[in-house]
Amino acid sequence: MSELRSELCTAKTQSISFMYSLLLFTHSLWRWLVLISLVYAIFRGIRGRIKQLPFTATDNRARHFTATIAHIQLIIGYALYFNSPVISYFRSNFHTAVRQPEFLFFGLIHVIGMTMSIVLITVGSSMSKRQATDREKFNVMAFWFTLALLMIFVTIPWPFSPLANRPYLRHF
């Protein structure tokens, strides 16, 4: 009976480990979609404003898909956050972990910064579609998405980050 329990625990641990690795890889890959879609939407917003173009269905799709891609990334990130061994250690040993840059980064800075970024994208997307003129739509979209992009750049664990560094793309 104890052998069966041991095998079941091992299988469960391997399953959780596989799920965590898959989520980590997906989160690492999906961030590039977030960054590309944000840059594209910002480009369309600035170009539309400068050239006084009409806010087309393509602009609206860029706005909408950017917000959707960002929300998916946030959901994946939350799934990682609540299943991460790093975060588990951070919560269990808060007073010690908060003094260690990597634990502080992933335990607080990354999750708060990214959540705030998605809030900025959501506000920008929502406000943009409700504007009366095309110029205002472009302005609002470009402004809020640019703020979000800057916050994302600061809170991504880049390979060169002094707080916590990770590779550009996690391997599965």
pLDDT digits (tens, 9 = 90+) for 18-52: 888 999 999 999 999 999 999 999 999 999 999 99
Domain count, the chain: 1
pLDDT digits (tens, 9 = 90+) for 113-159: 999 999 999 999 999 999 999 999 999 999 999 999 999 999 999 99
**Does 165 map to a domain?**
no
Closest CA to 32 of 123, 152, 160: 152
**Does 78 map to a domain?**
yes
**Does 172 map to a domain?**
no
**Does 55 map to a domain?**
yes
Q: Where are the alpha helices (DSSP H) in the chain?
A: 2-50, 57-81, 85-92, 94-97, 101-104, 110-129, 134-155
Tell me how far apart the alpha carbons of residues 155 and 104 are, in angstroms, rounded to a whole number.
12
- In this prediction, residue 4 carries a pLDDT of 47
**Does 79 map to a domain?**
yes
Q: State the pTM of this model.
A: 0.87
**Does 169 map to a domain?**
no
pLDDT digits (tens, 9 = 90+) for 55-106: 999 999 999 999 999 999 999 999 999 999 999 999 999 999 999 999 999 9
| Domain around 21 | 2-155
